[in-house]
Amino acid sequence: MIKTSIERVARTRYMMPVVLALAVIAVVVNESTYQHSHAMLERGITFTEARRQAALTLQSLTDAETSARAYLINGQNRDREEFREAIDQLAVVQRGAFQLIADADPRRTVSVEGVRRRIDERVAVLEDWMTAVDRGQRAQAFRIASSDRSRQIYNELRQEFDHVFARAAEIQQMTRMSLFDAMMLNRVALHALVLVTVLALLMFMRQLRESDERKARESQYLALEIAARTAELRALAGHLVNTREDERGRVARELHDELGGLFTAMKLELARLRRVPELPAAAQERMGGIEKRLNEGIAVKRRIIENLRPSSLEQLGLINALEVLCQDTAASLGIPVSHELEPVELDREAELTVYRLVQESLTNISKYAGARHVWVSLARHDKVARITVRDDGRGFDVTKVPAGHHGLLGMRVRVESHAGQLGVVSSPGQGTRVSAELPLKEAAPEPVTASV
């Protein structure tokens, strides 16, 4: 009952805004705690670095005093140089320490004026030592160094440093506690967000499962429909290819029968006309021109018929027809066309597909490739016949074939209509490789001879 009520509430139109509001609140809380924790951590790190710089300041002051006392005793220039280096280092680390304290304590709860004043006083005393020694007043310098005022300034400086360190430690402790509070708040907000997420996951789990099952059924149905439509389209493409070849064969036969008979009759008429006595020389010359044009028309007719339906394929077989095609292409392009052709067992339509694939590939090479060498191969691999046409031309991007160029698409349709596969590999400047695999013709079962 409770689960049903929760699901009913979850399906209302107010559920999504509430979930979004909770998510925004969780993000805001998490981001604010992160920013606060980051600021507190940076402040603590700054105070730690400030304390380190303050300690270096005190160390530099001690080094300066040590060098000054050594100069007071020995009077060597090396001690004087070390004193100046320590004073310079003191100025640098002092500025860094005070700046860090100011950055970490914008409210100025930690006062460094007393420390600065005591440092200046102590440096002034040390300068008096050095000045007295430089003037040859070593006894006076000893009196200044051993005076109670000098020790008092040093003790006051140590007390000021201790006060600054103590106040910085208090602020660091407060910063640490604030950081722990922010971490606890972030922890609570994160736990609450996890609980809300788990509850939402439990609430919508069944809906998601039902939706996945429905989508799976729809996907399976669509996959079956796509497979069926693909098979229909492949069969239709094959039918169109076969219909096209049949039509080309019919046109080729009509051209051969009708136009061939007409050309033959014309040649016979010209032959009879030549035997006419007392034919003028001009007429003889004109008949020679007519016969020449007639022979050209016969050659054009033969070329058209050959393109429509290659007679060499039917008369010579696939291997010889491909050899003739390669030789004709080499002669027309003026480049070598190497071929390695092995006999393969293919049916008549598959052989025509192989011939058309090589013919279309060589045509494309002659138009676009600018190749220097072409290789054609036909071989048997396992249960398929593999035909490959490769050139070393300029190549192209196979993903950017211009619109209106359907040669590759026609090849693919032809090959797939025989349950084969077509592959095209090319890139600019790297040549082109067109390869296809067609299943071999199944051998006819041998007749079973009954034993007597």
At 149 the pLDDT is 61
**260 domain-assigned:** no
Note whether residue 249 is domain-resident: no
Task: Report if residue 256 sits inside a domain.
Answer: no
Q: Does 268 reside within a domain?
A: no
User: Is the per-residue pLDDT at 2 higher than 60?
Assistant: no
Q: Is 313 exposed, middle or buried (0-12, 13-18, 19+ CB in 10 A)?
A: buried
- 115 pLDDT more than 50: yes
φ, ψ dihedrals at 387, nearest 5°: -110, 135
Residue 78 lies in a domain: yes
**Looking at residues 28-39, what average pLDDT do you find?**
68
What pairing do the DSSP bridges indicate for beta strands 432-439 and 384-391? antiparallel
Kindly state whether residues 209 and 319 are assigned to the same domain.
Answer: no
CB neighbours of 426 closer than 8 A, spacing ≥ 6? 395, 396, 397, 398, 432, 433
For 365-423, where are the alpha helices, taking DSSP H only?
407-417
pLDDT at 450: 46
Q: What is the pLDDT of residues 311-365, one digit of tens each?
A: 777 788 889 989 988 998 899 889 999 999 999 998 888 888 898 899 889 988 9
Residue/partner pairs of 288-295 with CB below 8 Å, 24 or more apart: 291/267, 294/263, 294/266, 294/267, 294/270
Residue 33's domain comprises 2-213
Closest CA to 48 of 163, 159, 171, 182: 171
Whether 296 is covered by a domain: the verdict is no
Residues 167 and 32 in one domain: yes
The verdict on residue 257 lying in a domain is no
Give me 2's structure tokens: 């409770």
| Last residue of one domain, picked from the residues 190, 213, 236 | 213
Q: Residues with Cβ < 8 Å from 129, sequence gap 6 or more? A: 68, 69, 71, 72, 141, 144, 145
DSSP state of 255: I
- Greater confidence (407 vs 328) lies with 328
Contact 296/307 with Cβ under 8 angstroms?
no
Q: Which pLDDT belongs to residue 447?
A: 52
**Residues 422, 426, 429, CA angle at the centre, nearest 5°?**
160
Number of folded domains that form the chain: 2
**Cβ 18 vs Cβ 26: under 8 Å:** no
Where does residue 278 fall: left (phi above 0), alpha (psi -120 to 50 degrees), or beta otherwise? left
Give the mean pLDDT of 372-401. Answer: 89
Classify 317 in phi/psi space as left (phi over 0), alpha (psi -120 to 50) or beta. Answer: left
Residue 79, number of CB atoms within 10 A of its CB: 19
pLDDT at 434 over 90: yes
Least confident of 148-152, 199-203, 261-265: 148-152
- For the stretch 207-228, pLDDT in tens is 767 778 888 888 898 888 888 8
Q: Please give the C-alpha separations between residue 19 and each of 27, 33, 204, 224, in angstroms, as whole numbers.
A: 12, 21, 13, 39
181 vs 187: CA distance, rounded Å = 10
Please determine, for residue 452, whether its predicted confidence score (pLDDT) is greater than 50: no
State how far Cα 156 lies from the chain centre. 68
pLDDT at 156: 65
- Give the bridge partners for 422, in sequence order: 436
106: nearest Cα among 34, 31, 185, 42: 42
Q: Are residues 191 and 326 in the same domain?
A: no
- Based on the fold, state whether residues 88 and 202 are members of the same structural domain: yes
Q: Are residues 207 and 326 in the same domain?
A: no
Closest CA to 376 of 333, 418, 326, 410: 326
Among 178, 213, 248, identify where a domain stops. Answer: 213
pLDDT for 402 beyond 80: no
Q: Say whether both 208 and 319 belong to one domain.
A: no
pLDDT at 230: 74
Domain final residue, candidates 213, 236, 262? 213
* pLDDT above 60: residue 445: no
Query: What pLDDT is attached to residue 4?
Result: 52
Residue with tokens 């390669």: 326
Answer whether residue 287 is part of any domain.
no
* Helical axes 77-104 vs 148-254, angle rounded to 10°: 60
Domain harbouring 333, CATH code: 3.30.565.10
Does the pLDDT of residue 94 top 80, yes or no? no
374 — pLDDT class (breaks 50, 70, 90): very high
Instruction: Determine what percent of the chain is predicted with pLDDT higher than 70.
Output: 68
Task: State pLDDT tens for residues 266-311.
Answer: 777 777 777 777 777 777 778 778 878 877 787 777 777 767 667 7
